[in-house]
């Protein structure tokens, strides 16, 4: 997960940029963490305001080249770490943070990078590793059982034909190595009546999520962020598919929500509330932004503001999505 999906005509297009800036208020100064630095779209705009500092993270080592340019320009106001979400609590911060941004999309540079193999438009060996990975998509397709592949495609890709696709993969791999184009052709042949042009989208999404442990990385990143944020600080997420948005929505609601008893009892507020929801419903791109950058149409911005320095307990998020975390563990069979 790194930066935002971009149209080919643009070098970089940070989704919902104006809306994110409005929520995190960099004009008031402070230190911000950009958890998916990518090409530096959010970071650049934040640093245009005086008295701001950005600590940028990205698991993609290629982002380091962009980071060097930022470091040369902004000196002590910018730091970069080649780390994952789960390592956010290991970075030196020198005090509490004013805002943390998770943009869970991908840059056009990453999509067009054939070595990463994120797109079904390429040919060759399956990969999808974003950095700090132990296994590739090729390893998953080659080694896991039909039953395991079915679970991955069903829950991570929400693919209705997961079982049939999984069985065909196991059948075909007995005779040849399954390359990117083979997987695409297989899915296309199974989903003949599927109306969308990109029939392999959900299968590729599922493989990418597993290869990069995106579920546990997001959950750990959100959980560890809570106690890094100062009072009145903001945590904001920009999601692009229903699974990650469901996680963010549930997490934000539970660290800030009003609990209700039965209809016969009065409403009560949780004693351990530490955050307020900034937007009860997600903020989505304008029609103008969608026209300029069509992949932004699925983006959803959610955010919370810290209202108390009380320590935040986050065990609930691991319990809620344990069924997804268990699927991630399937990769240990390789």
pLDDT on residue 10: 43
pLDDT, tens digit (0-9, with 9 covering 90-100), for 55-73:
999 998 888 999 999 999 9
260 and 297 both lie in a single domain: yes
pLDDT on residue 7: 41
232 and 204 both lie in a single domain: no
323 pLDDT more than 90: yes
203 pLDDT more than 70: yes
**CA–CA separation, 137 vs 244, rounded Å?**
20
85 and 227 both lie in a single domain: yes
175 and 100 both lie in a single domain: no
pLDDT band at 6 (very low <50, low <70, confident <90, very high): very low
pLDDT on residue 240: 92
Rounded to a whole number, what is the distance in angstroms from the first to the last CA of the chain? 23
Q: pLDDT higher for 334 or 87?
A: 87
140 and 198 both lie in a single domain: yes
307 pLDDT more than 90: yes
196 pLDDT more than 90: no
Average pLDDT over residues 314-319: 95
pLDDT, tens digit (0-9, with 9 covering 90-100), for 125-181:
898 888 888 899 999 999 999 999 999 999 999 999 999 999 999 999 999 999 999
5 pLDDT more than 60: no
**Dihedral angle, C-alpha 307, 309, 315, 320, nearest 10 °:** 10
Give the C-alpha distances (Å, rounded to integers) separating 167 from 162, 164, 171, 257: 9, 5, 6, 43
Average pLDDT over residues 199-223: 94
pLDDT band at 199 (very low <50, low <70, confident <90, very high): confident
Residues 6+ positions from 73 with CB-CB distance below 8 Å: none
Give the C-alpha distances (Å, rounded to integers) separating 330 from 210, 303, 319, 334: 9, 32, 18, 8
- Examine residue 158 and state whether it is found in any structural domain, yes or no: yes
31 pLDDT more than 70: yes
pLDDT on residue 334: 84
pLDDT on residue 62: 87
223 and 297 both lie in a single domain: yes
pLDDT band at 310 (very low <50, low <70, confident <90, very high): confident
pLDDT, tens digit (0-9, with 9 covering 90-100), for 104-133:
976 555 455 445 445 555 678 898 888 888
- Examine residue 140 and state whether it is found in any structural domain, yes or no: yes
pLDDT on residue 301: 97
Give the C-alpha distances (Å, rounded to integers) separating 313 from 173, 223, 225, 310, 318: 45, 8, 12, 9, 11
pLDDT on residue 324: 97
pLDDT on residue 192: 77
In this structure, what CATH number is given to the domain that contains residue 199? 1.10.150.170
Q: Which of 186, 211, 236 is the last residue of a domain?
A: 211
**CA–CA separation, 166 vs 146, rounded Å?**
5
82 and 143 both lie in a single domain: no
From 175, 139, 203, select the one nearest 334 (Cα to Cα).
139
- Examine residue 323 and state whether it is found in any structural domain, yes or no: no
148 and 284 both lie in a single domain: no
pLDDT on residue 9: 43
From 304, 210, 285, 275, select the one nearest 240 (Cα to Cα).
285
pLDDT on residue 124: 80
Q: pLDDT higher for 11 or 222?
A: 222
β strands within the chain, DSSP E: 30-34, 52-57, 78-81, 97-103, 229-239, 258-259, 268-269, 275-277, 300-306
Q: Report residue 166 as tokens.
A: 């999984």
303 and 221 both lie in a single domain: yes
Residues 6+ positions from 324 with CB-CB distance below 8 Å: 155, 156, 215, 243
pLDDT on residue 8: 41
Domain enclosing residue 301, as ranges: 17-109+215-312
229 pLDDT more than 50: yes
- Examine residue 182 and state whether it is found in any structural domain, yes or no: yes
What is the number of structural domains in the chain? Answer: 2
């Amino acid at each position: 997960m790194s930066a935002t999906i971009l149209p080919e005509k643009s070098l970089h297009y940070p989704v919902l940029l104006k809306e994110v800036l409005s929520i995190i208020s960099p004009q008031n100064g402070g230190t911000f963490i950009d958890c998916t630095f990518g090409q530096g779209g959010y970071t650049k705009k934040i640093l245009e305001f005086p008295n701001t500092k950005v600590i940028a993270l990205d698991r993609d080592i290629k982002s380091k080249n962009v980071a060097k340019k930022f470091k040369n320009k902004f000196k002590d106001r910018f730091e970069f770490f080649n780390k994952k979400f789960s390592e956010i609590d290991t970075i030196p911060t020198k005090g509490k943070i004013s805002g943390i941004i998770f943009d869970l999309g991908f840059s056009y540079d990453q999509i067009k990078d054939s070595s990463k193999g994120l797109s079904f438009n390429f040919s060759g060996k399956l990969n999808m590793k974003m950095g700090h990975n132990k296994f590739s998509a090729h390893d998953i397709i080659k080694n896991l059982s039909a039953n395991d592949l079915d679970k991955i495609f069903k829950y991570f890709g929400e693919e209705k034909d997961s079982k049939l696709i999984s069985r065909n993969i196991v059948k075909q791999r007995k005779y040849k190595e399954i390359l990117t184009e083979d997987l695409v052709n297989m899915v296309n042949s199974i989903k003949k009546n599927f109306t969308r042009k990109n029939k392999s989208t959900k299968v590729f999404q599922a493989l990418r999520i597993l290869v990069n442990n995106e579920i546990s990385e997001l959950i750990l990143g959100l959980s560890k962020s809570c106690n890094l944020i100062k009072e009145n600080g903001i945590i904001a997420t920009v999601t692009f598919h229903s699974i990650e948005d469901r996680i963010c929505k549930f997490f934000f609601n539970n660290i800030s929500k009003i609990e209700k008893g039965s209809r016969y009892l009065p409403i009560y507020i949780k004693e351990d509330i530490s955050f307020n929801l900034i937007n009860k419903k997600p903020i989505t791109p304008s029609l103008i932004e969608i026209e300029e950058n069509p992949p932004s149409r699925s983006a959803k911005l959610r955010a919370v503001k810290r209202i108390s320095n009380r320590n935040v307990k986050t065990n609930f998020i691991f319990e809620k999505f344990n069924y997804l975390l268990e699927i991630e563990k399937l990769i240990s069979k390789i």
